[in-house]
Amino acid sequence: MTGFGRGTATSGTRKVTIDLKSLNSKQLDLTARVPAVYRECELEARALVASMLTRGKVEMTASYESLGCEGCMKINEAVVKAYKEQIEKMSRELGVTPPADWMPMLLRLPDSMHNEQESSGEEDANAFLEAVRLAAASLMEYRCAEGRKLYDFFIEKIANIGNLLEEITPMEQERVPKIKCKLEEQLSRLTSIEYDAGRLEQELIFYIEKLDVTEEKTRLRTHLNYFLETMGTPEEAAPQQGQGKKLGFIAQEMGREINTLGSKSNHAGMQKIVVRMKDELEQIKEQVLNVL
């Protein structure tokens, strides 16, 4: 969802530039800084941005420059006089010496200057909205380019987790006999305690079955495939929106299965693999926040 876009359009009297900057957000959060001359177009501009950008904390900044308007800037005499009178009154009340050079200070005050062509006509409004549309389209292109990079990143990370999952199989095959042998060795030391060998065998089988991770491996593999299926191909994924939350939910389910693998492993080698899986998954979760 992060990105930047710029759009520029011209009318007969002005050149307007729109900058859009987007950060991650669960919904669309748009803030706009629009010159007063285009204030009447702000609501329409917001609606246009909302129709093109589904999510993100978006900041829109608008600026313009006049074209061929030499001499159109005029001093707002009434405003300047009012400023001067107020400053002189405050100077007397506060006992402060008034400025020696009035004009530079007065002309820097708000609304001291005005443009005779400040009114925004239909042509200027259309140019403003066109610049907004172009900026949003540019931002979407930026997002799509980032999306293609993310697609390759996710493919790599999902493949890494799948490869690590395959490394568990040989460890799992040697784990159960070792656990059984260790338990029998410990029980052999209890020479002074009588126990039912048949019942003991049942309890050993029950305990070993609880350590079986076949279901967790199967579910994790299913989640990996579902993640890839949800992304689709780069051509399908680029224009689609609304998949980011779904990918986030799938990543959460993957995390649950990996955690269960770790708690059931009872094997140093398998636990190391689980840690590496968690590292790969955390990188996926961080980048899923950038997916719409």
Buried-state track 78-91, b at ≥16 Cβ within 10 A, e below 16: ebbeebbeebeeee
- Is residue 278 within 8 Å of 270, Cβ to Cβ? no
- The confidence score (pLDDT) of residue 70 equals 47
Please, which residues bridge with residue 259 across strands?
Answer: none
- The confidence score (pLDDT) of residue 93 equals 87
- Is residue 154 within 8 Å of 284, Cβ to Cβ? yes
Q: Mean pLDDT per 10-residue run, the chain (292 residues)?
A: 90 90 89 89 93 90 77 75 89 85 82 62 90 95 89 95 91 74 72 68 69 88 94 61 83 95 85 95 92 78
CB-side exposure of 16: number of CA atoms within 13 Å?
28
Residue-wise DSSP of 7-76: EEEE-SSEEEEEEEEEE--SSEEEEEE--GGGGGGHHHHHHHHHHH--SEEEEEEEEEEESS-TT-EEE-
- The confidence score (pLDDT) of residue 241 equals 57
Q: What is the spatial distance between Cα 94 and Cα 96, in angstroms, rounded to a whole number? A: 5
pLDDT digits (tens, 9 = 90+) for 15-27: 999 999 999 888 8
pLDDT digits (tens, 9 = 90+) for 164-182: 999 988 887 777 777 777 7
**What single-letter amino acid sits at 75?**
I
pLDDT digits (tens, 9 = 90+) for 45-82: 999 999 998 888 999 999 988 776 544 667 788 888 88
E strand or H helix at 143: helix 122-188
Q: Is 232 helix (H, G, I), strand (E, B) or coil?
A: coil
Query: What does each C-alpha distance from 13 to 1, 37, 54, 61, 72 come to in angstroms?
Result: 35, 13, 33, 20, 11
CATH topology of domain 3-70+119-139: Ribosomal Protein S5; domain 2 (3.30.230)
Question: pTM for the full model?
Answer: 0.65
Domain spans, the chain: 3-70+119-139, 73-114, 143-288
